[in-house]
Amino acid sequence: MTVDLDLCYTPASVLARRIREGALSPVRVVENALERIGEINPRLNAFCFVYPDEALELAREAERKVASGEPLGPLHGVPVAIKDLTPTRGKRTTLGSHVYEHWVPDEDAVVVQRLKAAGAIMIGKTTTPEFAHAGTTSSPLWGVTSNPWDPDRTPGGSSGGSGVAVATGCVPLAEGTDMGGSVRIPAAFCGVVGLKPSLGRIPMDILPSGFDSLSHFGPLARTVEDAALFLSVTEGPHDRDPISQRDPLPLGDWPPACVDGLKLALSVDLGYRAVHPDVEANLRAAAAVLRDQGAEVEEVEIGWSEDIELVWEEYWSVFLAAFFGQHLDEWRSRMDPDVVAYIEHGLKLGAVAYKRLEIARTGFWAKLAPVLERADAMLCPTCAKPAPLHRGLTSYTADDMPGGVTMTCPFNLFGRLPVLSVPTGFTARGLPTAMQIVGRRFDDAGVLRIGHAVERGRPWADRRPPV
C-alpha cells in the first residue's frame, strides 16, 4: 500500500467530518496512518508502541457505525496517539523508564477515556524521556527521538514523540503532558500547534498527588481548530482531579470571532533570554499579522530575571523526588543521570525553603499581572532558539548564541494562564520557530482565538518536513 501523504496531513476536524458524511472510510484512514508510522518510526523513533490489529478492528467497527446511522462522536474514526506517560488500560505504560517497563495499568486516564468516548482510535503510544523530565526526548528504555526537520536535532520534549507523530502526518492529533513546556517545546521545534490549557481544564489524574499545580494535559495538533476540538472533548470536571475546573469558560463557536479591538502585549525576551534573530523576526511578523487584523500590539518590559527558571527547577526537583525518589536505591544505575541529579537535589530541599519558593513565585507574578490587566493576552517566543542538536538544551550554541533555549516553564508557575504555541515561520536553515500566546486566567477561548488569527495570516499546515 502506498502512503497517501495528503490524507496523512488532513486535519482531524476534516477527517471527522468526512467520515461522518460517509465520504471517507475510517479503515482507510487507519491503514494509511499505520503505513506512515512504518515509514517514519525507524528513522525518528516517535512511537514506542503501535497497535495495528486493534486499531484496524476499531476502524472496522467505526465504519459499521457510520453505515448503520448510529450516533457518532466528534472524533469518530480519527486515529490519535497517546504519550507513554499517560496510563492506558491493558497496555504497557513505561514512563520512558526501566522502572515501569512492564507496568500495565488497570484503567485509562480520564483524558484517554474521553478521547475514546468521542470516537477516537488510539493507534499507538509515543516516546517520552524518563518520567517526562526533560525538554528533549531520550530515555534509557527507548533511546533518542529525532526532529523531522533535521534528524540531527531534538524534537523537544517531553512530548517529543507526540510532536513528531503529528508533524510527520502519522496522526492528526496526539496527547501530551506539560509540566514545564512539554507540549509547547515539541510543538515549537516540530512546527505544529501545542496547547497548555488552563490548570484543571482537562482533569489531571495520573500523579500520586491530586493537588499538583504544574501539570497539564494538552494536545499537539496540525491546526488551532484541531487543538480546540481536542480540548472540547476532554475538558470538564472529574472527581479524580479535585482541582479540575467545575464550570470551564465556553470555547464558543468555530471559527472564533476576529481579533479586531484586542489589546496584546509583546515581550521578545521576557527580560532575560537572548533570542535568535530569526525567532525574533518571525515573532514580530506574527505580531504584525495580528495588527493587520485590527489588534493593538504594544511592546512591554516584563522585568523578569533568569531566577524564575531557577524557581521552576526547584519545584521540578521536588516533584521528581516526591513522586519517583522511592525508586532511586534500586534503579539508580538504570536511570537517566539527569533524573538522578534532580531527585537527589529535591530530596535535600527543606520544607521551609520549598515554601519560600511561593514568595519568589508571587514576586514574578506581581510583574506579569499588570501586563495581563491591561492586555487581553501576551505574545512571546516559545523557545528562544530553533531546535538544538542532540546535546541538550542548556549548552546549546546554535549560530554561536550561548544561553538557555526554552521560554515555557515560567508559565507553569502560573498554571491558570492558558498558553498556546503556534508556528511563526522558519529560520534561514529551515527550522521551525514559534510564538506563545499567554492568556488571562482561564481564558482558553481567547488564546485559541488569537492563534487562529495568526494561522489565517501565516498558515503553516501545508508545510511538511522532508521525511
CATH number (domain holding residue 259): 3.90.1300.10
Question: Is 28 within the bounds of a domain?
Answer: yes
Question: Is 467 within the bounds of a domain?
Answer: no
Counting other chains too, the contacts that 322-331 makes at CB distance below 8 Å and 24 or more residues apart are 322/208, 322/209, 322/346, 323/131, 323/207, 323/208, 323/209, 324/99, 324/131, 327/99, 331/97, 331/98, 331/99
Residues assigned a catalytic role: 83, 158, 182
User: Beta partners for 82?
Assistant: 125
Question: Is 321 within the bounds of a domain?
Answer: no
User: Beta partners for 175?
Assistant: 219
From CA 44, how far away is CA 226, in angstroms rounded? Answer: 24
Helix locations, 138-203, DSSP H: 160-167, 184-190
Question: Is 446 within the bounds of a domain?
Answer: yes
pTM beyond cutoff 0.75: yes
Per-residue model confidence (pLDDT) at position 400: 38
From CA 315, how far away is CA 280, in angstroms rounded? Answer: 29
- Spell out the residues 6+ positions from residue 318 whose beta carbon is closer than 8 angstroms to its own: 346, 349, 354
Question: Is 167 within the bounds of a domain?
Answer: yes
Question: What grid cell was written down for 416?
Answer: 491558570
From CA 280, how far away is CA 290, in angstroms rounded? Answer: 16
Question: Is 90 within the bounds of a domain?
Answer: yes
Q: Residue 213 — φ and ψ, nearest 5°? A: -110, 5
Domain of 74 in residue numbering reads as 13-308+353-457
From CA 293, how far away is CA 259, in angstroms rounded? Answer: 6
Question: Is 313 within the bounds of a domain?
Answer: no
Number of folded domains that form the chain: 1
Q: What is the pLDDT along the chain (467 residues), one digit of tens a residue?
A: 799 999 999 999 999 999 999 999 999 999 999 999 999 999 999 999 999 999 999 999 999 999 999 999 999 999 999 999 999 999 999 999 999 999 999 999 999 999 999 999 999 999 999 999 999 999 999 999 999 999 999 999 999 999 999 999 999 999 999 999 999 999 999 999 999 999 999 999 999 999 999 999 999 999 999 999 999 999 999 999 999 999 999 999 999 999 999 999 999 999 999 999 999 999 999 999 999 999 999 999 999 999 999 999 999 999 999 999 999 999 999 999 999 999 999 999 999 999 999 999 999 999 999 999 999 999 999 999 999 999 755 443 444 344 689 999 999 999 999 999 999 999 999 999 999 999 999 999 999 999 999 999 999 999 999 99
Nearest by Cα to 193 from 396, 440, 432, 445: 432
Neighbours of 121 (CB within 10 A): 26
Question: Is 407 within the bounds of a domain?
Answer: yes
Give the helix, strand, coil percentages of the chain, each rounded to 5.
40, 15, 45
- The SS3 assignment for 310 reads helix
